[in-house]
Amino acid sequence: MRPLASAFSDIAMNEQPSKWVRTAPGAPVFRGVNWGGLKTLYLKEVRRFFKVQLQTIWAPAVTTMLFLVIFTVALGRTGRFVLGVPFADFLAPGLIVMGMIQNAFANSSFSLLVGKIQGNIVDYLMPPISTGELIVGLVGAAVTRAVLVGCAVWLAMLLWPGVDVTPRHPLAIFWFGLMGSMMLAFLGLFTSIWAEKFDHAAAVSNFVVAPLALLSGTFYSIESLSPVFQAVSHANPFFYVISGFRYGFLEAADSPVAFGAVLLLAINIALWALCYWLLRTGWKLKH
């Protein structure tokens, strides 16, 4: 008669979920995608920022609306036209997507960094999810926050008198909003891997993200710039996000829309590969 422990072991093996494969004693792995783990991580990240939605969603929306009010009052009532449309209509789409990308960065740059500082980074590294699933969960939550902020700003602008934010090319709005949010989410994820304290993340936000966003053509058309500064603007990837997203509302853009769409896709693939490699190697995460 076999020992009782051996019998219980056989029963446990037979009752394991079909997605588990026993490669060695005590070392089960998943077949394919761990959908349960991925969903749990994504919901954890979404609930984290949604618990303080007044700060993470509504406050950025109010700040973005203040930009619209200030610039509309200062410049928009003089009958100024940009790209053939009133200045307020030109400004609104850029403000929407600028709020989206900045909040995507803020969300993803916080996740792993707070884990390293509080000493619970193991909560991200030990669960049975792959590196790709970890990236999808973190970036997906950041994009979700970006979409919520963008929708809040867009709804507020619909009610604002004198501003037309009627979508005319929904596919362009979707693509450039998604690509821009993902680009900043990947950049935020890289920042959270690299940074060792909140000052490091704040430095990237203040000296990289904010200047590139403000100098991306959100508040002006690059047609009014000198050739040198036009060339500098074309080297700024944020410019293609703003210009392409604006095209979805105005049917007019400062840059070739198709080129910008492909460029942003290439940038996101490169950033994904960089983040994947850093997480796989455990750079600045495993000590």
Predicted confidence band of residue 184 (pLDDT cuts 50, 70, 90): very high
Q: Taking residues 137-149, what's their average pLDDT?
A: 97
Burial 224-248 (b: 16+ CB within 10 A, else e): eeeeeeeeebbebbbbbbbbbbbbb
Give 21's strand partners.
29
- H helix or E strand, kind and range, residue 107: helix 87-118
- 280: its two tokens: 């796989």
Q: Please enumerate in sequence order all residues whose Cβ is within 8 A of that of 31, keeping only pairs 6 or more positions apart, or say none.
A: 19, 20, 21
Taking residues 267-285, what's their average pLDDT?
Answer: 95
Q: Looking at residues 11-36, what average pLDDT do you find?
A: 57
Amino acid at 204: V
Helix (H, G, I), strand (E, B) or coil at 163: coil
* Spatial distance between the Cα atoms of 248 and 234, rounded to a whole number of angstroms: 19
Please check the confidence at residue 9 and state whether its pLDDT lies above 50: no
The DSSP result for 114-142, as a single string, is: HHHHHT-THHHHSSS--HHHHHHHHHHHH
| pLDDT of 285 | 85
**pLDDT single digits (tens) 254-269:** 889 999 999 999 999 9
pLDDT at residue 123 in the model: 86
Q: What is the mean pLDDT of residues 31-46?
A: 91
Instruction: Answer for the pair 188, 106: CB distance below 8 angstroms, yes or no.
Output: yes
Write down the pLDDT at residue 2.
47
pTM of the model: 0.86
Determine contact, residues 205/109, Cβ cutoff 8 Å. yes
Q: Which is higher by pLDDT, 225 or 38?
A: 38
- Binning pLDDT at 50, 70 and 90, where does residue 10 land? very low
What rounded mean pLDDT belongs to the chain?
Answer: 87
Q: CA separation (Å) from 284 to 64, 136, 171?
A: 35, 20, 39
Band (273; pLDDT cuts 50, 70, 90): very high
Rounded Cα distance between 173 and 178, Å, is 8
Whether the CB-CB separation of 91 and 164 falls below 8 Å is answered with no
Tens digit of each residue's pLDDT (9 = 90 or more) over 150-182: 999 999 999 888 889 999 999 999 999 999 999
- In this structure, are residues 285 and 204 in contact, taking their beta carbons and an 8 Å threshold? no
Q: What is the DSSP string of 20-80?
A: EEESSTT-EEESS--HHHHHHHHHHHHHHHHTTHIIIIIHHHHHHHHHHHHHHHHHGGGT-
SS3 assignment, position 15: coil
Tell me the pLDDT band of 57, cut-offs 50, 70 and 90. very high
All structural domains of the chain with their residue ranges = 1-32, 35-281
Binning the chain into helix, strand and coil, the percentages to the nearest 5 are 75, 5, 25
